[in-house]
Amino acid sequence: MDRKTRFPALRMGLAFLSLLFLAEGGYVFWVFRNLSPYPVPDCDVVVVYGGEARRFPAALRLAQSLRKPLYMTGAPDEAAAARKQIPEGFNQATLDGTTLTTDQNARRAAAFIRSGGYKRAVLVTSWFHEPRALFLTRLYLWGTGVQVEPDPVSPVPSGWWREGLFWIETAKFWGSLGRVLLHSIGLGPPAREAGAVILLCQAPGPSSRIAP
């Protein structure tokens, strides 16, 4: 048997994976090129995901300067830490401490944006996290007409492809796509009941809830 025809399925699979890697690389390059530098557009809401500690302070400063609502989604301890940073008198912050992954962040943020009727959102996160976070957020808002623009907390380094964080994010991108697939066929984690959602608004603003 000819070597070229011995493992056709394997060859096709490898070719397909190569195309996916090239597509991901092209997308990441496009995002990074547009982030250097990226002018922050006007928006209806500022969105930030948990993770690197400096993300929330940067998002808070932006929301205050633009005088726009701020939505943060992350782990319970991240939401609690963020609440301590909100200055007295700023009552437009909504903190969602119910998510543990970027995929969950994006789904919760998309639900919040839709329920609030917002049409333009700015997503604040780390430069290395921005491609994956932006992709997932736009994916879950597909067809709504909502515009989501990136605002990294720090510039993209000139040699970003040599950064370890970049390669870690590249691997995580595939994990997120797997979660999207599982969620689309009903095999993802069950949606939280509305009554179990913990959302905190800085007093004296009212508490608010969004559908899971």
- Confidence at residue 188, expressed as pLDDT on a 0 to 100 scale: 67
CATH code of the domain covering residue 197: 3.40.50.620
In the block, tokens 């922050």 appear at 40
Q: Does the residue 166 lie in any domain?
A: yes
Q: Does the residue 151 lie in any domain?
A: yes
Q: Is residue 187 exposed (0-12), middle (13-18) or buried (19+ Cβ within 10 Å)?
A: exposed
- Confidence at residue 4, expressed as pLDDT on a 0 to 100 scale: 52
- Confidence at residue 89, expressed as pLDDT on a 0 to 100 scale: 82
Q: Does the residue 212 lie in any domain?
A: no
Q: Does the residue 206 lie in any domain?
A: no
Q: Does the residue 208 lie in any domain?
A: no
- Confidence at residue 155, expressed as pLDDT on a 0 to 100 scale: 84
Give pTM, 2 decimals.
0.77
Q: Does the residue 51 lie in any domain?
A: yes
- Confidence at residue 185, expressed as pLDDT on a 0 to 100 scale: 79
Domain that holds residue 45: 3-201
Tens place of pLDDT for every residue, the chain, 212 residues?
Answer: 455 555 565 555 544 444 455 555 555 555 656 665 555 667 899 999 998 999 999 999 999 999 999 999 999 899 989 999 999 888 889 999 888 899 999 999 999 999 999 999 999 999 888 889 999 999 999 999 999 988 888 888 888 788 888 888 888 887 787 888 887 777 766 545 333 344 445 433 333 444 33
Q: Token pair for residue 111?
A: 């639900």
Strand order in the sheet with 70-73: 147-152, 120-125, 45-49, 70-73, 93-96, 199-201
Q: Are 66 and 42 in contact (CB under 8 A)?
A: yes
Q: Are strands 93-96 and 199-201 parallel, antiparallel or unpaired?
A: antiparallel
Q: Does the residue 209 lie in any domain?
A: no
Q: Are 103 and 179 in contact (CB under 8 A)?
A: yes
Q: Are 153 and 127 in contact (CB under 8 A)?
A: yes
DSSP class per residue in 89-115: T---EEEE----SHHHHHHHHHHHHHH
Please tell me the number of Cα atoms within 13 Å of 199 on its side-chain side: 24
Q: CA 44, CA 169: separation in Å to the nearest integer?
A: 28
Q: CA 117, CA 31: separation in Å to the nearest integer?
A: 26
Q: Does the residue 207 lie in any domain?
A: no
Please give the tally of structural domains in the chain: 1
Three-state DSSP at 174 gives helix
